[in-house]
Amino acid sequence: MTDPFLARLPLSRSALDRDHRARATGTESLLAEASARAVVLHEGKALLDGEASLALLPAASVPHEAALYLGRAIADSPDLPAGAPVLALIVDDAQAAELTGPAPVEGAWGDLRRLGHLMSERDAGLFTQALALANWHTAYGFSPRTGAATAMGSAGWTRLDEDGREVFPRTDAAVIVGVTDGEDRLLLGSNAMWEGNRFSLLAGFVEPGESLESAVIREVHEESGLVVTDPVYLGSQPWPFPASLMVGFRAWVAEGTPTAGTPDGEEIMELRWFTRDELRDAAASGEIILPGPTSIARAIVEEWYGGPLTDGSRW
């Protein structure tokens, strides 16, 4: 990544060959390779080795419920030789206890929202890919065509219905927008699901038959009543909570239209315009909480601001 904005996107990083051809062999032969390593997942978290590093365990030694093939290591590292297969192993409560002991171990399991920006390129990419794929399997245990149970196929990259028809992983595209006005102020909103002083950018899912740019204009108008123009693409980042691809834009309030936005009262409860000084002071004092440093929302805010901001946000 050479674009300065793309370098701000922690979950868009990767250092893995996804090795799609090997998926057809299934996971048994991959698990049997002596160099195979495992990212261990339990209830949406990953087993850690330290504060912000994944524990990559010998894959054959980990009891598990399901195995998902992620790919092969590109470069040598002390815990993962180049060319080694990496699998995500999903474990149940008892299997997790075998790894960390019966009592919960503080810091043993990591949350990607909180740690993604602290992780290495390799670990951030592995955790993001593993979690996204695991979430899809959790949601698609039954065929959307017939309702019958499905089985895992292609080393975790498909599910098969009773007739052998394949169901493929899905990703839900969502736009997220840094809206500015004629004074170059930034618009932030507070969502009904958050604590009252948490503010972020406006965002929403892309609807069927809709372009990304049209989704930007529609979502901003639905949530704020504002009319924006000239959406400009910045970059994208996977957000596996559970299955989104966040597509980042900048947009501007259309000339001659009002800037006094009205929150929709359902998703967005409050809207505020900020100058750079106002945002810096409000974040530093704790008056507002900004989106966390792992998110593309934070990257867009800091792109507009011109550098890092200090606040107490952890996700």
Residue-by-residue pLDDT tens, the chain, 315 positions: 457 899 999 999 999 999 999 999 999 999 999 999 999 999 999 999 999 999 999 999 999 999 999 999 999 999 999 999 999 999 999 999 999 976 656 779 999 999 999 999 999 999 999 999 999 999 999 999 899 999 999 999 999 999 999 999 999 999 999 999 999 999 999 999 988 899 999 999 999 999 999 999 999 999 999 999 999 999 999 999 999 999 999 999 999 999 999 999 999 999 999 999 999 999 999 999 999 999 999 999 999 999 999 887 766
- Asked if the structure places residue 57 within a domain, the reply is yes
What is the structure's pLDDT at 1?
45
The domain boundary residue, chosen from 118, 138, 158: 138
> What type of residue is 69?
Y
Q: Are residues 24 and 121 part of one domain?
A: yes
In total, how many domains does the chain have?
3
- Residue 130 belongs to domain spanning: 6-138
The verdict on 210 and 117 lying in the same domain is: no
Q: Let me know if residue 189 belongs to a domain.
A: yes
| 66 occurs within a structural domain | yes
| Residues 68 and 110 placed together within one structural domain of the fold | yes
Together in a domain, 151 and 221: no
Q: What are phi and psi of 246, to 5 degrees?
A: -85, 120
Does residue 312 lie in a domain region? no
Is residue 106 domain-shared with residue 70, that is, in the same domain?
A: yes
Q: Which residues are 41's β-sheet partners?
A: 46, 90
Residues 202 and 261 in one domain: yes
* Nearest residue to 11 via CA among 111, 109, 134, 112: 112
Distance CA 192, CA 196 (A): 8
pLDDT at 3: 78
310 located within any domain: no
Residue 100 and residue 38 share a domain: yes
Residue 240 has what pLDDT?
98
Per the CB < 8 A criterion, the answer to whether 159 and 145 are in contact is: no
Is 313 among the domain residues?
no
Establish if 222 belongs to a structural domain: yes
* Residue that finishes a domain, picked among 148, 170, 192: 170
Cα–Cα distance between 61 and 153 in angstroms, integer? 22
CATH number for the domain spanning 217: value is 3.90.79.10
Q: Which residues pair with 265 in a beta bridge?
A: none
| Residues 246 and 116 sit within 8 Å (Cβ to Cβ) | no
Q: Which amino acid is at 308?
A: P
**In a shared domain, residues 95 and 192:** no
296, 188: one domain: yes
Do 124 and 183 belong together in one domain? no
Q: Is the domain of 280 the same as that of 187?
A: yes
Which one, of 269, 298, 299, lies nearest residue 192 by Cα? 269
| 144 and 134 share one domain | no
State the distance between the two ends of the chain, measured CA to CA, in whole angstroms: 24
Going across the sheet that includes 166-167, the strands are: 151-153, 158-160, 166-167
Is 116 inside any structural domain? yes
Q: Within a 10 A sphere around the Cβ of 40, how many other Cβ atoms?
A: 26
